[in-house]
Amino acid sequence: MAATTVYQKPSDFIRSVCGGKIPTTRTLTLTASHQSRIRRLMGHEYRPSKVRYWMSGRRMVIILEEIGKTQPITTGYVVSGGKIEQVRLLIYRETIGAEVRRASFTNQFKGATIGSNGKLNRRINNIAGATLSTRAFMEMGRVAVYLDQIRSK
């Protein structure tokens, strides 16, 4: 049975990157075209038809979830100008692989964008025993950058 570990509550993450307060929640409605692009970025269907996000200046703050091996991993992303500024593991529900919470792992995403091939433009080193969690972080990172791109259109 997987244990749930809350490293930081999503609301506390939003506050921490938005100057101590939670800005107005905004919603991005995902069209069929958006869903199709996200499916290509993730390699599978993405269920939500709406995604909530928050703005702090020009920075988009978004909380995403993706299945690691069997359980959802809840992660906070800060994206600005199509680049990832920050990634933080918020809630982890798997039995192994929680090393993805370490700054040495999440810092690899800083400055990452997605190329025309739909991949992150930098290599993210895997963590032994956390392959599926690493994959989930990379998928969510690609989606976070994409959502920032479509939000600002």
pLDDT value at 128 more than 70: yes
For residues 39 and 46, the answer to whether their CB atoms sit within 8 Å is: yes
Task: List the 83-92 sheet strands across, edge first.
Answer: 5-6, 83-92, 72-80, 59-67, 50-56, 26-29
pLDDT value at 41 more than 70: yes
pLDDT value at 2 more than 70: no
pLDDT value at 23 more than 90: yes
Q: Which domain holds residue 76?
A: 5-151
User: Would you list the DSSP string of 81-142?
Assistant: TTEEEEEEEEEE-SSS-GGGGSHHHHGGGTT--B-TTSSBSS-----TT-HHHHHHHHHHHH
**Which of the residue ranges 42-46, 50-54, 83-87 would you say has the lowest mean pLDDT?**
42-46
Q: Into how many domains does the chain fold?
A: 1
